[in-house]
Each structure stands twice: as structure tokens, then as C-alpha cells.
Amino acid sequence: MEQPIIGYHKDEDDDWVAELQCGHNQHVRHNPPWMLRPWVTTEKGRKSRLGKELNCKKCDRNEPQDFIPRCQE
């Protein structure tokens, strides 16, 4: 299910994690040559992707939320 990005944090391995509106976390790794997400390495790039949608596989699997999304209004 496509879900917009509402924020980011880093995990214990220093990898970026996108927080989705559905309450799921999703890794957004920049790990060339396999995963190319150079935008995630800069604050500007991350901000530019806020509100953009990622395909959330956890929603498709009906997994419990990783966090409770805060109101964005």
C-alpha cells in the first residue's frame, strides 16, 4: 500500500528509516550499488521527499504499527 512519508529517524546501525503515515517504519538505505537513494543522505533530499509515497509492505501484511502517527495538521 502506498503511504506518504511523514518523518525520518536513524536506527542503531546509522541507517535512515522513513516514518510512514500508516505508523510503519521503512528503511530507506543508500547502499550503492544495490540501493541507490542518494537523496536520503542530505537533509534537503529528505525534506524534499516528505509527503512522497513509499510502498508499505507492512500494510499489505497487516502488521501492527511501529509507532503511533502524530497529527500532521
Using CB under 5 A, list all residues that contact Zn ion.
Answer: 22, 24, 56, 58-59
The DSSP result for 31-45, as a single string, is BTTTB--GGGGSHHH
Cβ distance to Zn ion smaller for residue 19 or 40? 19
Least distance to Zn ion from the beta carbon of 5, Å? 11
Q: Shortest gap between Cβ of 41 and Zn ion (angstroms)?
A: 24
Q: Which is nearer to Zn ion, 30 or 66 (CB)?
A: 66
CB of 71 to Zn ion, least distance (A): 17
Helix, strand, coil percentages in the chain from 3-state DSSP, rounded to 5: 20, 30, 50
d(CA 63, CA 61): 5
